[in-house]
Amino acid sequence: MNLNDFRNSTYLTQRDIENLPAKDRRVTVDHVEAERVGEEKDLKLVTYFVTMDKGLVTNITNGEILSEIAGSTETADWHGVDVEIYVDPSVGFGGKRTGGIRLRPTPTKESRSVEDEYDEEMAFGNEEVA
């Protein structure tokens, strides 16, 4: 039994993301709301995704990533944007490396590396026959 299994959060946590299968980490923005968050009840952006019950408290870094992908700083324009959500262990907070949730564009066929294509060919036997 793990203590962290008993921590309930209204919003997405690193543990939530780490427990997702890789295929479920590609998500689509449903909507963004301004909500009072934390003990101080600070007003924060919270991004909700189509397939997730919890929202992501969206820091400036993730907000900038979403605005770049959507091509707009208007949160209403983020609806329908596809991203990959993941845990980046290099994220720091309070001078310590704590890890954190990050977003990135979903990979497209064109952006896949040669290694990805090689791995896929090896896994599925798609080598070309001469």
Which of helix, strand or coil describes residue 118? helix
Q: What is the mean pLDDT of residues 15-42?
A: 94
Looking at residue 118, its pLDDT comes to 44
pLDDT in tens, 56-72: 999 999 999 999 999 99
Q: Would you state the torsion angle of the CA atoms of residues 93, 99, 100, 106, taken in this order, to the nearest 10 degrees?
A: 140
Q: Tell me the average pLDDT across 2-17.
A: 82
User: By the 8 A CB rule, do 10 and 2 touch?
Assistant: no
pLDDT exceeds cutoff 90 at 14: yes
Residue linked to tokens 């019950």: 53
- Cα-atom radius of gyration of the chain, to the nearest Å? 18
Q: What is the dihedral of CA 72, 87, 114, 121, to 10 degrees?
A: -120
The pTM assigned to this predicted structure is 0.77
Across the strands, what pairs with 33? 46
Please choose, from the candidates 26, 36, 37, the residue with its C-alpha nearest in 3D space to the C-alpha of residue 69. Answer: 26
Q: What tokens appear for 23 in the block?
A: 């295929």
Q: Which of 23-37, 45-59, 90-104 has the lowest mean pLDDT?
A: 90-104
Q: Can you tell me the distance from the alpha carbon of 88 to that of 125, in angstroms, rounded to the nearest whole number?
A: 32
Of 32-36, 84-88, 114-118, the least confident: 114-118
Q: What is the pLDDT of residues 94-130, one digit of tens each?
A: 888 888 999 999 987 654 544 445 444 444 444 444 4
